[in-house]
Amino acid sequence: MTPIRQVTVVGAGLMGHGIALDFAVAGYEVNLHDLDEPRLRQAMGRLQATLQMLAAAGRLPPEDIGAVSARIHPGTQLPAAAAPADLVIESVFEDLALKRAVFGELDRLCPPHTILASNTSSFLPTQLAAATRRPDKVIVAHYFNPPYLLPLVEVVKGEATSEETASTVCALLAQAGRKPVLLKREAPGFIANRLQAALIREALAIVDRGIADPRDVDTVLRYGFGRRLAVAGVFEVLDLAGLDLALAVAANLLPDLESSVQVPTGLRQMVDRGELGVKAGRGFYPWTPESAAARSRAIAQALLQMTQLSDPPTPGRRG
């Protein structure tokens, strides 16, 4: 397998520009492609703001900001972005037809050795590989927002993905300071979204049944077991508590938990009313642009503090 030296990210939105930044901080040259020139300019502005934030938090030497920025090459021409790529990470809108079209085009434009990865959170790699003539080099690399603060990347092989492709991508991600988890087989939602969907379904059911309101549910998560799960996984917690206790709780509680496969009624009603969250000014909470920005800053600062406690600074990983 050809060593990964040049990375291309297709899609300069919320996730794409963050993935590009993460590789650039790790020392890689990155082509950042988007068809929309204003979106590219906005992405580069976000990148500069994020680099300043990382420097202020001690995660990046201030003198490295210029060098990191210089490793990111924005452009609207896909052939130019694809031609030198050893790895492409697609991060366009979550639409299967669009992603398949992008993969088909990348397959035509990229060198034969290029690995084609997707940051999709829901589509299976086998679905994307069908649009290419290189299914052995198609894989999912699912990042989490923001990519430069959350180290997890779920790596998912398709039916035809080679072991060499999987091992190359996992090694690259580890070299870049990420925490890759390779699934044993592809499945909708991978690991994280399956777990998150189960939690969200029960949280919505608690509200719909009148057991508690959204603020109380969030308080329980933020000040209770959510903090514990940040430092110990669910199976570690079960072992520490004792599996006999876990069995007794499961036998008593599981029959009363929400198990419907239907979309929760309360959530559908809110969407029908136009209560879409921050973008609409109201969801489970009322929002203003100022309150949403303040909450986003608070989340970023908390993640930075957690990163400082658990990981060494990120610059210069590549050597």
Q: Annotated active-site positions, please?
A: 121, 142, 154, 193
Q: In what order do the strands lie in the sheet with 115-118?
A: 72-75, 29-33, 6-10, 87-90, 115-118, 138-142, 152-157, 179-182
Q: What gap in Å lies between CA 310 and CA 271, rounded to an integer?
A: 38
Q: What gap in Å lies between CA 9 and CA 84, rounded to an integer?
A: 12
Q: How distant, in Å, are the alpha carbons of 188, 205, 257, 285 from that of 200?
A: 16, 8, 12, 16
Rg (CA), the chain: 21
Q: What gap in Å lies between CA 190 and CA 212, rounded to an integer?
A: 30
Residues 6+ apart with CB under 8 A from 139: 115, 116, 117, 118, 125, 155, 156, 157, 158, 161, 165, 166, 169
| Token code pair at residue 153 | 């990347």
- Judge whether 169 and 87 are in contact, CB under 8 Å: yes
Q: How distant, in Å, are the alpha carbons of 29, 142, 149, 163 from that of 89?
A: 13, 10, 18, 18
| Tokens 């419907």, located at residue | 260
Which backbone phi and psi does 148 adopt, to 5 degrees? Answer: -80, -5
E strands, the chain, are 6-10, 29-33, 72-75, 87-90, 115-118, 138-142, 152-157, 179-182
Residues 6+ apart with CB under 8 A from 309: none
